[in-house]
Amino acid sequence: MSREGSAKVAVIGARGYVGAELHALLTEHPAVDIVRVPERDPAAAAAAGLDACFLCLPNGAAAPYVDAFTRASRSTCLIDLSSDHRFAAGWIYGQPERNRAGLRGARRVANPGCYATAAQLAIEPFRGLIEGTAHAFGVSGYTGAGTAPSPRNDPAILRDNVLPYALVDHVHEREVTAHLGHPVRLLPHVAPFARGLTVTVSLTLREPRAEGELRSILRARYEGEPLVTVTGDPPLARAAVGCHGVTVGGLAVAEDGRSAVVVAALDNLLGGAATQALRNMNLALGRDENEGVPS
């Protein structure tokens, strides 16, 4: 039954890992009515009178839906969780802590990648203090590889193992570099646990800084951000599972004062994907950003 004032929302691709998490969140959202649409008929989806539609599809599969909604000339907010539009003109990059104002009222939102979210939030507070390329060593659970069979989610390959992959030109590497405006190298790995993600970021500072000063900068940057937690110890991927935000911590500075390391962890299906998409929808539709996010 529709509720007065509720947004009509659909999820295309709800059978995938992220789509299932997003559907579960939307089911509990106090101001959302989930509309079922035929997933293989983009025109029918575009004609459903939706306020928002989430595209939880593999990379490269969003175009028919974007074209159909564009032809329908409706004001539906499309939120693409693939990488298809993270570099596209006319699409707002959906990282709320860094782009909140641009997301309000947006009708085309490109949801960030999970690695990109963690790396950006770890690096951004220090962006004006660092020189040269930042290096991020990342490890994620195998759900980050999706449901299609591959070596990155093959239990036999992952057993007692950490698998490096896409060690150059990873899409999240290009994404972080583009949206931070600073060069970043990402070294992604997948581990035999299901979900959770951690990145350890190495930074070179332009001039020596005290560790206490950098800790103050980090805490000041995220003061008042309810979904970013700053900790003294390095956050753990296991502890991030089931959490809707990002934890940044473990900041350390070498004796030279110029070599610094910071760690970020999140749930790759929630804080790195579904929860962030939900927040983007709220902002785009003029609602409270964290409405529907479990406390």
- What Rg do the C-alpha atoms of the chain give, in angstroms? 19
Selection from 148, 116, 113, 53 nearest residue 269 by Cα: 113
pLDDT of residue 237: 97
pLDDT in tens, 236-266: 999 999 999 999 999 999 999 999 999 999 9
Instruction: Give the tokens for residue 12.
Output: 């295309």
Whole-prediction pTM:
0.95
pLDDT of residue 1: 41
Provide the phi-psi class of 175: left if phi over 0, else alpha when psi is between -120 and 50, else beta. Answer: alpha
C-alpha span between 18 and 136 (Å, rounded)? 24
pLDDT in tens, 48-90: 999 999 999 999 999 999 999 999 978 999 999 999 999 999 9
The residue type at 95: Q
Known active-site residue 77: no
- Report the range of poorest mean pLDDT among 109-123, 144-158, 203-217, 274-288: 144-158
Q: Of the listed 53, 77, 114, 243, which one is catalytic?
A: 114
Is residue 277 within 8 A of residue 81, CB to CB? The reply is yes
Q: What is the mean pLDDT of residues 193-213?
A: 97
CA distances from 43 to 37, 53, 71, 155 (A): 10, 13, 9, 39
In the chain, what are the domains? 7-112+273-284 (3.40.50.720), 114-267 (3.30.360.10)
Instruction: Give the tokens for residue 113.
Output: 């990648």
**Which residue in the block uniquely carries the two structure tokens 């583009």?**
178
C-alpha span between 136 and 134 (Å, rounded)? 7
Question: What's the half-sphere exposure (Cβ side, CA atoms, 13 Å) at 13?
Answer: 22
